[in-house]
A and B are shown apart, each in its own frame.
Chain A
Amino acid sequence: MKYAYYPGCSAKGSSKDYEMSTQAVCRQLDMVLEEIPGWNCCGSTPAHAVDTELSAALCARNLDIAARQGAQLLLTPCPSCLSNLRAAAQRMEKPTFRQRVNELLDEPAAETFPEVISVMQAIAREKENLVKRVRLSLKGVRLAAYYGCLMSRPAERMRFEDPENPLLMENLLAACGAEMVDFPLKTACCGAAFGIPERAMTARNSGRILELAVRLGVDAIVTACPLCQMNLDLRQTQAGRAFETRFHMPVIYYTQALGLALGFTQRELGLHKLAVSAEGLLNKLDGLRRAPAAEGGQS
């Protein structure tokens, strides 16, 4: 099936590994992601923090492109893009707001926009397909699903499962055999864009998430957000310093975990790009795969 696809800026830069693994997994599930032509940045946090109309104009332009392509559904991997695009579509329902936004655009935006959903939600619709194509079960791997604060909230905007306790990622990964722990901080904030202006706060927030993951004895945190991944992975040393410890917790994208189950190589999934190496996790997986053979058991 074909989908209109909005990758977002991170996909082309800081989260290339997310993009690589997303593309790989979707390809394997016969989901064709068609990047909408000439898309622009959604405005991210700075735009809507300064001016909601400007933010909506940036998003409306993208939604307009997708609408003109005849798309019914627009997929994005990034929760922040998802939030902005959905917020813009919602605000544009108000005629006065729509009028002011249209004034900012070269041409008035299309009257109706496609619905924007997360790539994760689209993959979930292909769950049966996914289960069929699992080549290497994740059985024996213990993972914590971390959604970040934006994916499911605000509830009425995102309409993404229970806002406090979403289970979609767990369901997908458990279908691939992974052991999913109940991770109470799954929707807590990692500190987001405050990594730059308020580093201490981000270190505290991310550190709390990492600390709990360590206590729960997971092999990796699995995330769906480029910024969360960056804060937990790239800034892991900073978070460790705030907690007077050294964490060593791999933080991977859920698409990378799914990709492993679907039989892709580390390189194809961009796992070599992590700041905190996932070697331990990968070695464990390798070990687990050999073990049943050694025991003469079934795979």
Chain B
Amino acid sequence: MRIGVFVCHCGSNIGGTVDCARVAALARDFPDVAYATDPMYTCAEPGQAAIEEAIHEYRLDGVVVASCSPRMHEPTFRRTVERAGLNRYMFEMANIREHVSWIGKDKEANTNKAAELVRLAVEKLRHNLPLAASQFDVNKRVLVIGGGVAGIQAALDCAEGGIPVVLVEREATIGGKMAKLDKTFPTVDCSACILGPKMVDVAQHPKITLYACAEVEEISGYVGNFTVKIRKRATYVDWSKCTGCGACTEKCPAKKTPDAFNEHTGTTTAINIAFPQAIPKKAVINAQYCRQLTKGKCGVCAKVCPTGAINYAMQEEIVSENVGAIVAATGYDLMDWRVYQEYGGGVYPDVITSLQYERLLSASGPTGGHVLRPSDGKEPQTVVFVQCVGSRDRSIGRPYCSGFCCMYTAKQAILTKDHIPGAQTFVFYMDIRAPGKMYDEFVRRASEEYGTEYIRGRVSQIYPDGQGRLVVKGADTLLGEQVEIKADLVVLAVGIEASKGAVNLAEKLRISYDNHGFFMESHVKLRPVETNTAGVFLAGVCQGAKDIPASVAQGSAAAAKVLTLFARDKLESDPQIAQVDIRRCVACGKCLRCCPFGAIKETEFRGETKAQVIATVCQGCGLCTSTCPQGAIQLQHATDNQILAEVNALCQC
């Protein structure tokens, strides 16, 4: 075998603390190395051309590049060697940047370690075999999970691109959190007015199938060929007959049903349409509060329904859909702020969340758009906003910033003045984070034009003064003083957390999630929409805190990724997967049980049971390889022999 070694300087990234020329010189003495050199930038166009030239000139049949992490440039160099006529798996990478030059300062030690890693890669390459990918068909339909603004955007863009879309929404209406907002920053335009038309587009688009009141139950398959089971909850209303006229909601006697859409700021009826612009505009019965369903007598809605749509015997239903790609857009929920006992832990009615305040501001909310405080229905004259309640607080395990609270707090302070011109508004803040377009200007407007008093500091306590008002005690860290404000209403900018059930969904999708339940993107900077599971993409806050423009952008980006994937009729499978040597397999079934992807099945071979890998499902994790007592199942490109060769090389150094 003839191997070429390229020890990259990466400018001074590697060259600064590794003697690259010496590593190349040492590499020339490694077995089968026919050529070694140390280019300045191997990944640049001249660097790649030099590799191609060397392959031809020195008749190389394998290449080692010692440079950065394979996560960074392995695909790049695989394409390079392929252009020069080699199989792309006859290439190995030694990571001497992240693993050597960036972490050590001792040049001699670094040089030795770099040489050892190159030796390792050479030895691995000597045991490599050319591998070939196989091809399979793509089902050009997409599943979008979550009908918030990110999911809506992804669904519409895919549908406009000609792709049939299945949109699954847990709630009775799409629109997500944005539908609950009164106005949006920094333009203060009506949220329902800009989102509404998009929601209608979803309802009317011939390529979009919408399942509301539904959740993803089970996902199987792989990129291009997923099978999804969707659980449709019983709504007790036949939506094919319901016209959304609302006659039932007017007559329903169970008027004390908690109103989840209004964030529990008011009550509603047991049969209900979430809000006037709801999509689908269909009634749903809350079974817990319906008198017919709980006590067996009432039936008023069935009597008044002009189309006979009410069906108290309705059962939940499981439907199955086949898709080729999935966009997760499950959004967020507010954290349970009741852990803050110093703010009353939820017992003071006039301490509310920012989302509840949105409902009080909204014309479709429980107060018809009049700001009236919950305790006595009076108009508040002093409103205090407290930011970072449950954000950037390590003491409760939430170190992250929720991203958009600074902006909506400024918006709510402005709207408060619009609703109640004489009102006084205060904002307690830690830092103002307003980096978006026109954002800082907006915050300044809240403070300069609308006279909102910004106080930099945390609130230590909120308590009722015994005379109907609330005392807000806090620190002004700019003046170094304690402050105390008598407020009529306190609005907490409650931090966000991953949507309830996000972790459960991640397990079904086989994607990673972080400590806080947010889904992990494939690369923080360069692959922000992809996940590590092929064919699964992310949009919106399920991946991390972001505001409406960013969520919409990511929704479109996810759609672009789906359209890119579907631009091909066939996909190539990765050959770096497990393979069973049926001569050694004893059919013990251990691999079957340990595979997290269900990629191994039993098969008959000449009357004997054997394990078989389903090539398109296997993700190449290697669990089965280390579980197999016979060494019969081997991960291609990382076989036991290849790994042992590396270990041997390292131990001989």
Contacts and interface: CB of A to CB of B under 8 A. Distances in A.
Interface of A: 162-165, 182, 184-185, 188, 212, 215-216
B345 interface: yes
Contact of A165 (B345, B464, B465, B466): B345
Interface residues of B, number: 12
Nearest to A213: B466
B397 to A, nearest CB: 14
Contact of A164 (B342, B464, B467): B342
23 contacts: A162-B341, A163-B341, A164-B340, A164-B341, A164-B342, A164-B461, A165-B341, A165-B342, A165-B345, A182-B347, A184-B344, A184-B461, A184-B463, A184-B464, A185-B463, A188-B461, A212-B463, A212-B465, A212-B466, A215-B465, A215-B466, A215-B467, A216-B466
A176 B16 CA distance: 76
Nearest to A166: B341
Given A184-B464, A215-B465, A216-B466, 13 more contacts: A164-B340, A164-B341, A164-B342, A164-B461, A165-B342, A165-B345, A182-B347, A184-B461, A185-B463, A188-B461, A212-B465, A215-B466, A215-B467
Contacts of B345: 165
Q: 8 tightest CB-CB pairs across the interface, nearest first?
A: A215-B466, A184-B463, A165-B341, A164-B341, A164-B342, A162-B341, A216-B466, A212-B466
A216 B465 CA distance: 9
Contacts of A184: 344, 461, 463-464
Contacts of B463: 184-185, 212
Instruction: Classify the secondary structure of B's interface with A.
Output: loop
A188 B344 CA distance: 14
Contacts of B340: 164
A164 B467 CA distance: 22
A215 B464 CA distance: 10
Contacts of A163: 341
A188 B463 CA distance: 11
A208 to B, nearest CB: 9
A189 to B, nearest CB: 11
A129 B344 CA distance: 32
Nearest to B348: A184
Contacts of B341: 162-165
Interface string B323-353: 0000000000000000011101101000000
Contacts of A215: 465-467
Contacts of A164: 340-342, 461
A216 B466 CA distance: 6
Contacts of A165: 341-342, 345
A142 B95 CA distance: 72
Nearest to B345: A165
A162 B463 CA distance: 17
A164 B340 CA distance: 8
A5 to B, nearest CB: 31
Interface in B451-488: 461, 463-467
A294 B466 CA distance: 34
A41 B345 CA distance: 38
Interface centre among A164, A215, A216 (most CB of B within 10 A): A164
A215 B463 CA distance: 13
A202 to B, nearest CB: 15
B349 to A, nearest CB: 13
B487 to A, nearest CB: 14
Contacts of A162: 341
B475 to A, nearest CB: 14
A79 B69 CA distance: 57
Contacts of B464: 184
A184 B490 CA distance: 16
Contacts of A212: 463, 465-466
